[in-house]
Structure 1
Amino acid sequence: TPVAETFDTKTVLGSNVSATGVDDGGRTSPVTQVRVEEYASTRVRPLLPYVFFDQTSTDLPQRYRRVSESVREKFSLENFYNLDAMITYYHVLNIIGKRMQDDPSSSITLTGTIDESELSLGTGLSQARAAAVKDYLVSTWEIEPRRISIQARTMPESPSKSTDDDGRAENRRVEISSSNPTILAPVSSNDTMRVFQPAGIRFAPSIDPKVPIASWTMFVTDGERIIRSFHAGEPIPPSVDWRIDEQALLIPRSLRELKYLLVVRDSNGLVVPSATQTIPLNHVTLADKAGSTSDKSIDRYSLILFGFDRSDLTPANSVIVDNIKSRLSPSSTVSVLGYTDRSGADDYNLRLSEQRAKSVARALGLPESTAKGLGENLPLYDNSTPEGRFYSRTVEVLVETPRK
């Protein structure tokens, strides 16, 4: 007899959720608090030169930031202080527009592409997607149309796998290229880096008794506002991982605890919340460490766009490596960490991330012992979007230098 038929609708459904700490390597530990420590930092964020589109659509998705004329006049890359790579990326067209305004001799090429399921629509769809990007740069940033060339093709020259939804979404894009390296150069800023220990929280949701449900939602809040939520239908997963620094901007210094709970809606429409639980926050600010002889700066550099199944450095990544080498001091300690996205088998991703980390370490003239592959244990960014997966396929170089 199916479980649904044996479940008495008068039975009281209970929901619960527990939390443990999880590090970049996927190792778990009890979480009694989250330590949030600040460090002076130089942050170098690569600019992904792709704009992604929904299936069969030529409209720029709403997640790409538009600016008004008044905001455009005040737009400055100096305002990208303390913003992570994803927030920076969603301003990709504004960053390119600003840089093209500053350099009237520069030009770009926009290449529209489609995924395998859109092949029947031909390159007209590719052309229209590139035209949508061009229209924004021309109408908002007043870039002369002649400085923006359009090309159209079917699949990208270096496509993602077309056998799953993730790969197809990654192939629906406009690729941006320029002979002027400054147009697509990484965005650098002097930041205050916040390091969360543990790096992530692994939530384990559950219901009792185990019966079919309609949906579940996990909330992390500050008591009033939602900081992060996870939502899906049947079944409830055994665990959900949250990398805390994805929502760092929503966790101010004044916040002393995180609250979390699970809300389940059963097949009869009954909403059943779990008890709200808390995790204390322990903030250690730069001011707290003023005068300390043990403080350090942590500079963070990211390398992306490795070739599919490849670990060798692209020319763009070689430029970043040269930049890192020029900033190292004899007192610096360097860690090279490789990450991947959720695509592919866990053991394969772990090996590939390690190969890429070792490739970067060698290019920096460092021993391979400084390199470590972490695979997809705790992805750096939300993998539900194409850009999140691209930015998660990265090698991060952390340079720690004692502060004098």
Structure 2
Amino acid sequence: MPTVTHHHRSATVCSMIPAVMIVTLALLVTRQAPVTAQHTQYGVHGGVVYSLHAAQFTQLGDFASCCPSFTGGSGTGFLAGLHAAYRLSDKLFFVPRLTLVQENGSMQSEEWTFVADLRDTPRVRRAMFLHEFTSSVSSVGIEPTFLLGIVGNLSLTGGLRAAWVFDGSFTQRETLVEPDDYGSYLGSARTWVNYQEQIPDLSPFKAEVLGGLHYSLSVGKAQQWHLGTDVSIAIPITNVTSSAEWRTTNIRLAIAVSHGAKVPEADTSIALPLVPNADTVTLPAPPSLSPPEITLKLEGLIQNYRVPFDSVHVEETLIVDYLPVLNHVYFDEGSSTVPERYSTAAHRMVSDARLTPVQATTAILGIVAKRFREKPQTHITVVGSAGPDLALHGIRLAQQRAESVRASLVSLGIPKENIKVQWQADPLTPTRASDPKDFAAAEAENRRVEILVSESSLMRPLELQTVQTVVTPDDIAVSYNISADTTLRASQVFINDSSVHRSTALQHSFTIPSPTEPAELLVVATDVEHNTAKASASIPVSTLTIHRKKTEHRGNLEVERYSLILFGFNDATVTKQHQEILQIIRNKIRKGASVRVIGMTDVVGSKEHNTLLAQRRAEEVAKALGISESEIEATGSQAPQFSNNLPEGRAYNRTVIIEISDKQ
């Protein structure tokens, strides 16, 4: 699971505190006269902006991203502007400002997963993908604020900011970091995504609530010049972009210089009588304070339910997926260019790289080209269809689509003379939809080229192997209570010496992802008297690998999933071809194995109809296999294996999965 580290945020905030103290001290030292009230002041201000980003998105707009989620980060920018101050009373000023602000930020997410190392002895290795996201947003806005004197030269400030956002850009990178000696995406590249673009759907308007402290000094003989220090926070009301949950809270440190005419003040001093020195009184020493006490508790979270926690359990299971080969290549509206996803998967297949089930749905060109080497006498026919594009582009588009597929197959090594091109208006078995909301999905499935081969072995099912890792519990709930004789200054949580949480509350709770390696959790609490207390807990991890399962005869060693039966649109009939496939599966069921039959559909149609259709499909297959109805599940369109946003994904979701779990 991905983890995000933010300990650098608190370090940066702490590093700003000495700067504030130094500036304030400098103003105190250079003070020449007390502050005097002015009717009107005009000036300039500028400083630094420390931005805290709170986000919850995986990608921006249509820019591809594999990141599980960007959740937050920080960065440093600047501000500059003009201001005026209008005196409303002795202690109250109205201060309008015009301010330019640049907000910068950086977010990172570490995604831990597994890759197959095929060098020498094949093995599974842990891998870490680093997702990096940096941004810069510039805005200019008006800030109607009020300044209220509280004590001496110190004032409270508060108001609003309404700004026009005129620029916003971001940079995103996804890099394979570990293992550092093996692995790449395609070719030798270890960086998959590297964008430098404008932020999509950038909100043109930004609103913020302002609050903070202002310290001001009057200098010069006439006390007409004023130096001020502002420490404030800007809390956002609006998102950075309308297409994602992303807000930026700004901590602002600014220096202000202003000029205004002096207003004479009445002498309000009171002469006090002299008081003789009193006898010296010795006060007793204050009682000593005990350090804080911490009570720490860990609980497991499984599907958001709390369970007692003793350790994290990691279990590996070999998953063998048997997928049919869908002999379709789908095209975009009005286009005859083979989509990039087919070319990428084809080259991956031809280069003997391992495919995931999702990649296999678009690997038809590579599958045919690779298997053609085994049967070079095979004759291939590609049949193009114009589908709903016929009226606008004519039958010529169907021919161009078929020729594009032939050109792709030729580029993959199949002789041109072995490929015959045909075209037609619509596919022989087109997809039809009765509900208008499903028309677009049905039309997309009819923009296709079908690949027919004389050797059926070229279309035999794919066997894909992956190692599935299940971590229990999903997360760990951490809660702690602190009792202290005086005010708590802060508490901080560390996991293996890395700070993961910070709070000033006496009672706090949060969750962390379950680690896959043993970890030590430490809570440190400090009060305002610098008394410190610590509490720790171990997080043990037990890993049940495939090798341990074999030697100890524990758990499910292997799960075979057969998705070999693809049904026609809105169809649940088990055909003669299906019966042949079911006979192969029947022979694979070993004694003692558990079998599940899971009916599925695409998203075309209502949920209720799809659930019933999935149930009918599962019942028909279970009946043909001689399996009890108690082993039947019907998920319908609720838990798709593949994306329903693509036509090939919908085709692969019209299936029944036969899952065989073998303890061996």
TM-score, normalised with respect to structure 1: 0.66
**DSSP 3-state at the match of 2:397:** helix
**DSSP 3-state at the match of 2:612:** helix
Residue 51 (structure 1) aligned with residue 324 (structure 2)? no
Mapped to 1, the partners of 2:306 and 2:639 lie a distance apart of 16
Offset at residue 349 of structure 1 (A)? 0.4
Q: Which amino acid aligns with 2:360?
A: T
1:85 corresponds, among 340, 351, 357, to 357
Offset at residue 290 of structure 1 (A)? 4.8
Offset at residue 383 of structure 1 (A)? 1.4
1:350–1:194 Cα change, 3 Å: same
Residue 293 (structure 1) aligned with residue 567 (structure 2)? no
Residue 130 (structure 1) aligned with residue 405 (structure 2)? no
1:10–1:385 Cα change, 3 Å: same
Say if 1:46 and 1:302, in contact at 8 Å, map to a contact too.
Answer: yes
**DSSP 3-state at the match of 2:398:** helix
Q: Which amino acid aligns with 1:184?
A: M
Residue 149 (structure 1) aligned with residue 416 (structure 2)? no
Q: Which amino acid aligns with 2:616?
A: Q
1:337 corresponds, among 582, 598, 607, to 598
- Structure 2 segments unaligned to the other structure (5+ residues): 1-204, 210-235, 240-244, 247-300, 476-514, 520-540
Residue 358 (structure 1) aligned with residue 619 (structure 2)? yes
Q: Which amino acid aligns with 1:121?
A: H
Give deviations 1:84-140, integer Å, cap 9, x for gaps.
322123221011011112102212221111232443322211111011011111132
- Structure 1 segments unaligned to the other structure (5+ residues): 1-6, 23-27, 202-252, 258-280
Mapped to 1, the partners of 2:579 and 2:625 lie a distance apart of 10
Say if 1:350 and 1:373, in contact at 8 Å, map to a contact too.
Answer: yes
Q: Which amino acid aligns with 1:90?
A: T
Mapped to 2, the partners of 1:287 and 1:150 lie a distance apart of 50
Offset at residue 9 of structure 1 (A)? 3.5
Mapped to 1, the partners of 2:548 and 2:563 lie a distance apart of 28
Mapped to 2, the partners of 1:147 and 1:317 lie a distance apart of 29
Mapped to 2, the partners of 1:256 and 1:315 lie a distance apart of 53
Mapped to 2, the partners of 1:255 and 1:126 lie a distance apart of 55
2:82 aligned residue: none
Task: Give the ranges of 4+ consecutive aligned residues of structure 1 lying more than 4 Å apart after TM superposition.
Answer: 14-17, 28-36, 66-69, 195-198, 253-257, 281-284
Give deviations 1:270-322, integer Å, cap 9, x for gaps.
xxxxxxxxxxx996532454533232221111034312221112454333312
**DSSP 3-state at the match of 1:374:** strand
Mapped to 2, the partners of 1:159 and 1:324 lie a distance apart of 29
1:388–1:196 Cα change, 3 Å: farther
1:139 aligned residue: 411
Mapped to 1, the partners of 2:661 and 2:565 lie a distance apart of 21
**DSSP 3-state at the match of 1:377:** coil
Equivalence map 1:170-249=2 (5 Å) = 170-189=445-464, 191-194=465-468, 196=470
Equivalence map 1:353-392=2 (5 Å) = 353-392=614-653
Give deviations 1:312-367, integer Å, cap 9, x for gaps.
12454333312211111121111010111222100100010111111111221222
Deviates more, 1:35-44 or 1:131-140: 35-44
Offset at residue 178 of structure 1 (A)? 2.1
Say if 1:306 and 1:314, in contact at 8 Å, map to a contact too.
Answer: no
**DSSP 3-state at the match of 1:366:** coil
**DSSP 3-state at the match of 2:658:** strand
Mapped to 2, the partners of 1:158 and 1:102 lie a distance apart of 30
Offset at residue 255 of structure 1 (A)? 8.9
Residue 62 (structure 1) aligned with residue 340 (structure 2)? yes
Offset at residue 60 of structure 1 (A)? 0.7
Mapped to 1, the partners of 2:431 and 2:346 lie a distance apart of 34
1:130–1:283 Cα change, 3 Å: farther
Q: Which has the higher strand share?
A: 2
Q: Which has the higher helix share?
A: 1
1:121 aligned residue: 393
Q: Which amino acid aligns with 2:415?
A: E
1:138–1:340 Cα change, 3 Å: same
Give deviations 1:58-77, integer Å, cap 9, x for gaps.
111111135899x88x734x
Offset at residue 13 of structure 1 (A)? 2.7
1:255–1:340 Cα change, 3 Å: farther
1:344–1:299 Cα change, 3 Å: same
The number of residues matched between the two structures is 306
2:191 aligned residue: none
Give deviations 1:30-58, integer Å, cap 9, x for gaps.
48999763223432111111101111111
Q: Which has the higher contact order (CA 8 A, sep 6+)?
A: 1
Mapped to 2, the partners of 1:283 and 1:112 lie a distance apart of 51
Mapped to 2, the partners of 1:157 and 1:181 lie a distance apart of 19
1:303–1:86 Cα change, 3 Å: same
Mapped to 2, the partners of 1:167 and 1:155 lie a distance apart of 12
TM-score, normalised with respect to structure 2: 0.42
1:384–1:301 Cα change, 3 Å: same
Mapped to 2, the partners of 1:153 and 1:61 lie a distance apart of 20
1:319 aligned residue: 580
Mapped to 1, the partners of 2:443 and 2:613 lie a distance apart of 22
